[in-house]
């Protein structure tokens, strides 16, 4: 028996993440007339008219994307429960900190019949360069798998995770990561300005160094340590900077920054259970 083709996507929530995903889908050729959006106060987004009623949206779509704040998800799920139980749409939740178990519990679907995916994208989604960690506790049909991958690749790239617990680490690493990178770059730029470089030049140099280094590491099979060694000659300029970083325990500081963020993600997940 062939699976019914799922073709229309409904976004519950029209905020930053929904916007990024919708723009990505359109840019990647997904038909705009197969995308529906609902949110209570927002009326328009780009060329879309936004529905104010989640149930009216859910009746018309095959895929539901939950893109609301965590404190709103329960009421959204409870409102849509009868429709979800009946239609069993493919569900994708990008809501931080709410487990698939919790969602199935609200749906009274302890047997996990409705297909559900949980994803943690990051803000480079706004320019189609997100990296998304994604997990599903269900065995997806080939159609649902292909469709979910099409949706995720519309905002960048994605990595499937074997365990849902990894999503807390993903949240602390790549979810919060853009802010950490901006923070580090800001410190580097401010020092260059302080020492006399014009701001615009300092900013361009730092940002392009970040992008270039990341692309070099991504395209190389060498380890990050080896790539570091390759620009570090004994008693040279890079050596001087790295020695200072070691003396001030910069690696440990950055590690504790990631740990604090991951621990907070775990705390938020536990609170919502």
Cβ-based nearer residue to ligand NAP, 65 or 206: 65
Q: Considering only residues 9, 25, 96, 155, which one is a binding residue for ligand NAP as defined by CB under 6 A?
A: 96
Only one residue has tokens 């989640």, namely 54
Contact between 67 and ligand NAP (CB under 6 A)? Answer: yes
Indicate whether 152 belongs to the interface with ligand NAP (CB under 6 A).
no
38, 102, 174, 269: which one contacts ligand NAP (CB under 6 A)?
A: 38
Among 21, 51, 54, 262, the residue binding ligand NAP under the rule CB under 6 A is 54
Rounded Cα–Cα distance for residues 171 and 113 (Å): 27
Q: Find the shortest distance in angstroms from Cβ 168 to ligand NAP.
A: 13
Q: Does 121 bind ligand NAP (CB under 6 A)?
A: yes
Please tell me the distance from the alpha carbon of residue 208 to that of residue 203, in angstroms, as a whole number.
Answer: 8
Q: Which two tokens stand for residue 201?
A: 């030049």
Asked if 99 is part of the footprint of ligand NAP (rule: CB under 6 A), the reply reads no
CA distance linking residue 38 with residue 51, whole number of Å: 4
Q: Is 53 in the site for ligand NAP (CB under 6 A)?
A: no
Is residue 124 a contact residue for ligand NAP (CB under 6 A)?
A: no
Does the footprint of ligand NAP cover residue 100 (CB under 6 A)? no
Give whichever of 90 and 94 is closer to ligand NAP, judged by the CB atom: 94
Q: Where are the alpha helices (DSSP H) in 64-171?
A: 70-87, 100-106, 142-153, 166-170
205 C-beta neighbours (distance < 10 Å), count = 14
Query: Does residue 225 bind ligand NAP (CB under 6 A)?
Result: no
Min separation Cβ 190 and ligand NAP, Å = 25
Is residue 87 within 8 Å of 64, Cβ to Cβ?
A: no
Nearest to 121 by CA among 87, 148, 147, 96: 96
Closer CB to ligand NAP, 15 or 137, in the complex: 15
Crossing angle for the helix pair 177-194 and 199-219, nearest 10 degrees? Answer: 130
The least distance separating ligand NAP from the CB of residue 120, rounded to whole angstroms, comes to 5
Rounded distance between C-alpha atoms, residue 273 and residue 168, angstroms: 14
Of 29, 262, 261, 11, residue with least CA distance to 128: 29
Site residues, ligand NAP (CB under 6 A): 12-18, 38-42, 54, 67-70, 72, 75-76, 94-96, 120-123, 175
């Amino acid at each position: 028996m062939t699976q019914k083709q799922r073709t229309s996507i409904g976004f519950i929530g029209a905020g930053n993440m929904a916007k990024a995903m919708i723009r990505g889908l359109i840019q990647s050729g997904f038909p705009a007339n197969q995308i529906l959006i609902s949110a209570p106060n927002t009326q328009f987004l780009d060329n879309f008219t936004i529905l104010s009623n989640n149930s009216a949206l859910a009746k018309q779509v095959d895929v539901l994307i939950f893109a609301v704040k965590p404190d709103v998800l329960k009421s959204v799920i409870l409102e849509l429960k009868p429709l979800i139980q009946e239609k069993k749409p493919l569900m994708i939740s990008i809501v931080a900190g709410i487990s698939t178990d919790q969602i199935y519990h609200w749906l009274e679907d302890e047997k996990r019949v409705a297909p559900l995916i949980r994803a943690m994208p990051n803000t480079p989604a706004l320019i189609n360069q997100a990296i998304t960690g994604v997990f599903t506790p269900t065995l997806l049909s080939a159609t649902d798998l292909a469709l979910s991958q099409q949706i995720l690749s519309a905002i960048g790239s994605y990595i499937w995770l074997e365990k849902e617990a990894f999503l807390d680490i993903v949240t602390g690493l790549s979810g919060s990561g853009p802010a950490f990178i901006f923070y580090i770059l800001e410190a580097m730029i401010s020092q260059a300005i302080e020492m006399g470089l014009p701001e615009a030049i300092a900013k361009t140099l730092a940002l392009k160094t970040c992008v270039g280094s990341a692309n070099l590491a991504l395209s190389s099979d060498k380890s990050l340590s080896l790539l570091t060694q390759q620009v570090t000659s004994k008693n040279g300029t890079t050596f001087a900077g790295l020695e200072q970083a070691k003396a001030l325990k910069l690696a440990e500081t950055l590690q504790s920054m990631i740990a604090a963020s991951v621990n907070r993600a775990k705390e938020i997940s536990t609170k919502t259970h």
